[in-house]
Structure 1
């Protein structure tokens, strides 16, 4: 067992959850299950301590602590000792409580003392040697002293050694006796607060993890880095958790999968099947879906004459993959369209009870309404970030927003329109299906990009506070997070462009001023539509890049690193394994989301915190555009830096007109107020 507590009173610590309309009996049952339990590993730790093993080594061996985690080890040791001595006292065995509280009893080896050595020993000398910390009361000390003096013919040191040995035997016997009555074993249904430190249990509870069953399932669902989705947990604590769960897998009866124990890149290289799902005829990702023969679309009502079809697909499943084949060279687009086609096919089969090629216009309208409220939620909605191989995966993570609904209908119409053009379908059921402008506004209507950019105050809070240079120095993760913020804001790059950037994409050029001998740098970026552009890198960003590369072990100059043959990702993996390849765009996007979420948590319950929780990596691109133009960059230059196809897109970030109209409105409002 590995966890610790700072309790000073009752060893059966209670950690009370918020009550949820429970009956008194349910509350009492729950309180009983929430008491901090004592396991066999606690007794093994304390037995080692009594036998003279240093507590840091005993904690490492039996409780999975790091020897450097001194404060936590001391806290856990204190809790265990108080728990055991209090349990012995409550059972009426005060002598055992005193024995267990004594700590290790040193028993010196028998010495060859000369005959001249004194056979006499005073109570004071016995107390100084036997109870140097003064734990025993005077009456108990006298009783032990008299017991030690019974064998008069034996030399004094031999008598003391024998007495201590007898006491040590009694001490270990008391521990064994207490273990029989007190030790508990973890079970799958146990509340985690019964086994984990209260502060740790609170963090897990906040992530909707209440029982050991919940904890094991979460680890198996999210894989080796499951802890990254739980605020305040950290890798060290997570490692102790998984070590403890693994050590108690027999009693829990539910083991951690290899996905939870081995880093994904290592496991995927050796066991790729660990990241696939077995075929199933229930709701599942496309690659694991087995479509019922009666609903596979081979005889769909909206099928065009089979002899006229222009694709080899004989069913709806194959037809979808035929459509997706045109987007294989655009992986982001391919994944987005696969998601929309997947949702349509799953809804058609499991909610509508029809083959996709049997859908009509009424079905298309019903699908539109379903997107805004996918019910029942326990069937269709799953946790955000669940891997496609996970049993927790669902087609949705919640109702779609208005704009996402519009995009989904557009994708469904594109799919069915293409299948109609290939004479697989007789008609497109989504053609003419309208999405209410009240719920799904036209993209780019009155949506102001500045609504999705950081204010100067928010930016300063991030870069000078939550992710300051001092904070970044605390860990490799914090160091990378700060660089990602600088890169996203100062470079104005898309998340996908950041993920694909390499050090070899850096190029240098001379300053326009012939007296300036310093080099300037830009990053060659391949953006949307495979269009190449040059993004100038300001000096603060280049300095941050040099420091970041040095922290990853790249000691050469930037010129030498940019000219090296081995590809170096601009943003590296936390384990330093750059040879594993570039990070995915989704990983970079999730990292940005974590950065903003953690920063929002520091702001507490406020509107500013709520705004940061909405932020994503793309917000930094909007922040770059908004504030670079505000600080003097011409819209034409900003257009080239951002890779916009039209100056009209860049012009959305200028606010000249609204500023001109603000002054008269201010004057009007002041004129309407009574003078003071």
Structure 2
């Protein structure tokens, strides 16, 4: 007989920004299936979507209870009490259409107020009822442990038998509670460390104004899917979190000494338990950290360059009186170099083309991949530029050209082979082969499912297509060339950019022409592609 599995003491997952977006769309009357596909991922049926909807409502109610013990700013108390929240989400008998619309507007405003408050890690003063399931929370409260801090103190006072003071809490449940506290960084060894959470959670005091200023600066590098925006957000976020948690200051109070100290901190962010976490951890998870480990000398130079530019902009806006990095001298920067193993040789490139040509020609995904391969090699576009390019960027004047979207605007020539592959891709999407008659908003790299949609694929989605292609090609090569297969399996979309630049120089194209095509700020970067090992 199978043993019944013991329920978890706390939910295994927590609310994220996508859950708020999903629930907000539901409140606005949008269709549940489309919301699920957009915010929760493909593959969920309506039953699962409805189940997730119920879970979100339960977690929101739990979150409101959690806020009962948190300090709040003036005006929040009347909006975020549990009784008010429950009254907003419950449909009233014989409710008129007008009354329902008023209630839903209030609910949406309440949701907006809740989001920044709930997308934070557990705090010591949080009510246990806001995190643990009711059956466990009730027993902890009955023992006098109303907050997480009180519970942690009880465990510290009697590590072996603390649970005996809470009637109904057994050894197994106690171990689960301790494991949960450990996962949330509530272990005794980290009691003195402040909770480091993402930029969007800084919603109180001077840090809120500094976070808003950084977000305004980042607006100059939109869209959020671009590599530049994400890289700048990462460095600005690390800098502000260090200012708040390590220095205990606002940006306006920083000095040149702080600039030097931050440069040293980047090379070894300590304490590691507070600053360093696993790569790829979602931003809404409590174990998220701003660093994956110490930065290399080159990464430190790059980070300082970005935050120095940020501070220069803040000086222009009158938020800083001086740039704390103005006198910081970066270590000498070596000449640019592209690692040969992160580019395809002429032989590898030929194999990749041959592999793609053997795929099912009737599959729309194959048609798209053949276009992408020709497109990326002919233009050397960054992956963010690939995902943003639309029909509106095409021009016909003695041959086809593309006005590359993004921060490095430029015009590149498109060979007829690329245009023919694009026509095939558009036809496979049901849009026809006549490029001049295509919708201007149609992305050049389009969706296969919902092919008529003019919604662009995200950078992550385009990257996933490339990774899948390289992995399949590597698997196909494994029997004849294990080393080459391993290299293919590790390839990323940026390898194609390296390959395009290196092969163009090898064919005799001038460095100046390659610089303009790739959108390099400096020709010294382009010169790195002339390394014979890349050809």
Q: TM-score, normalised by structure 2?
A: 0.57
Equivalences for residues 469-508 of structure 1 within 5 A: 469-473=357-361, 476-477=364-365, 479-508=367-396
**How many angstroms apart in 2 are the aligned matches of 1:186 and 1:474?**
48
The reply on whether 1:552 has 2:429 as its aligned counterpart is yes
CA RMSD of aligned residues (A): 4.9
Contact persistence 1:449–1:653 (CA under 8 A): no
**How many angstroms apart in 1 are the aligned matches of 2:521 and 2:321?**
37
SS in structure 1 at match of 2:436: helix
Task: Return the match for 2:210 from 316, 330, 352.
Answer: 316
Contact persistence 2:380–2:518 (CA under 8 A): yes
**How many angstroms apart in 2 are the aligned matches of 1:578 and 1:543?**
20
Offset of residue 595 of structure 1:
4.2
Contact persistence 2:202–2:211 (CA under 8 A): no
Task: Return the match for 1:584 from 458, 461, 464.
Answer: 458
**How many angstroms apart in 2 are the aligned matches of 1:330 and 1:617?**
18
Offset of residue 589 of structure 1:
3.8
Contact persistence 2:314–2:320 (CA under 8 A): yes
User: For 1:225-280, what per-residue CA distance to the aligned partner results, in whole angstroms no more than 9, with x for missing partners?
Assistant: xxxxxxxxxx9xx9999779969x89xxx969999xxxxxxxxxxx9979965454
Contact persistence 1:596–1:613 (CA under 8 A): yes
The reply on whether 1:459 has 2:349 as its aligned counterpart is yes
Unaligned regions of 5+ residues in structure 2, if any?
Answer: 20-36, 60-107, 124-194
Contact persistence 1:341–1:412 (CA under 8 A): yes
SS in structure 1 at match of 2:403: strand
The reply on whether 1:380 has 2:270 as its aligned counterpart is no
Alignment match, 2:400: 522
Greater RCO, 1 or 2 (C-alpha within 8 Å, sep 6+) = 2
Task: Return the match for 2:300 from 405, 422, 443.
Answer: 405
Alignment match, 2:128: none
Task: Return the match for 1:285 from 198, 203, 209.
Answer: 198
Alignment match, 1:563: 437
Contact persistence 2:410–2:517 (CA under 8 A): no
Offset of residue 500 of structure 1:
1.9
Offset of residue 623 of structure 1:
0.7
**How many angstroms apart in 2 are the aligned matches of 1:542 and 1:320?**
41
**How many angstroms apart in 1 are the aligned matches of 2:414 and 2:497?**
14
Equivalences for residues 320-331 of structure 1 within 5 A: 320-321=214-215, 323-324=217-218
SS in structure 2 at match of 1:343: helix
Offset of residue 335 of structure 1:
4.5
**How many angstroms apart in 1 are the aligned matches of 2:371 and 2:236?**
37
Alignment match, 1:338: 233
User: For 1:438-467, what per-residue CA distance to the aligned partner results, in whole angstroms no more than 9, with x for missing partners?
Assistant: xxx44xx141475542112332343323xx
**How many angstroms apart in 1 are the aligned matches of 2:483 and 2:201?**
42
**How many angstroms apart in 2 are the aligned matches of 1:217 and 1:495?**
31
**How many angstroms apart in 2 are the aligned matches of 1:404 and 1:621?**
21
Unaligned regions of 5+ residues in structure 1, if any?
Answer: 1-181, 190-211, 224-234, 260-270, 298-313, 511-520, 660-676
SS in structure 2 at match of 1:463: helix
Instruction: Give the aligned length.
Output: 388
Max Rg structure:
1
The reply on whether 1:654 has 2:535 as its aligned counterpart is no
Task: Return the match for 2:245 from 350, 358, 369.
Answer: 350
SS in structure 2 at match of 1:428: coil
Contact persistence 1:569–1:581 (CA under 8 A): yes
